[in-house]
Amino acid sequence: MNESSGNEATGNAESGALVLNLECTLAAPPEEVFRMLTESAELVKWWGPHGFTIPAAELNLTPGGRYRFRMTPPDGEPFHLSGEFLEIDPPWHLVYTFHWEEPTPDDRETVVDLSLGSTGKGTRLVLSQGPFLTDERLELHRGGWTESFEKLRLVTDALA
């Protein structure tokens, strides 16, 4: 995976916002990657850190539509995340809110912005998420997204 180097967690000097920025390059074309990001049957194949499963993923892929995922960690009780789709521009752009339904005190709703670009044979996927309340929460999401992107790469490599 090609993770952007340098200052991936950027702070907005005016607001003090903590924002996660990651990117990866995938072998599949943008249309296929967008489908993997937006169809329940495809999302459950790659979403979440290693060892996590997604036994349920509901999506209403319309502006203002909602989604809800049930995630199960390797050792533990299932938990949920949900949100609202803010922008949908297939196959180039997807923006949605991200909310843990069983939050810790340091959780807050964030916004995930996914941009896709053609690399000729594949896709460059760029993620921005934030603002986070603490560095700890940002790092938790960095780990989750990094491992999710590794799993997504395996799925998309099979399509190429």
Kindly tell me if the per-residue pLDDT of 13 is higher than 50. no
Rg (alpha carbons) of the chain, rounded to whole number: 15
pLDDT digits 0-9 by tens, 117-128: 999 889 999 999
Cβ atoms of residues 134 and 74 within 8 Å = no
Helices and strands: H and E segment counts in the chain:
3, 8
pLDDT digits 0-9 by tens, 37-64: 999 999 999 999 999 999 999 999 999 9
Q: What pLDDT does residue 8 have?
A: 40
Percent of the chain with pLDDT over 90: 82
The DSSP symbol for 5 reads P
Q: What pLDDT does residue 11 have?
A: 43
The DSSP symbol for 15 reads T
**Sign of the dihedral through C-alpha 51, 153, 54, 68:** positive
Give the tokens for residue 17.
């916002």
Give the residue carrying structure tokens 């489908």.
35
pLDDT digits 0-9 by tens, 95-116: 999 999 988 888 999 999 999 9
CA distance 85 to 97: 7
Strands 9-12 and 79-89: unpaired
Phi, psi of 107 (to 5 degrees): -85, 145
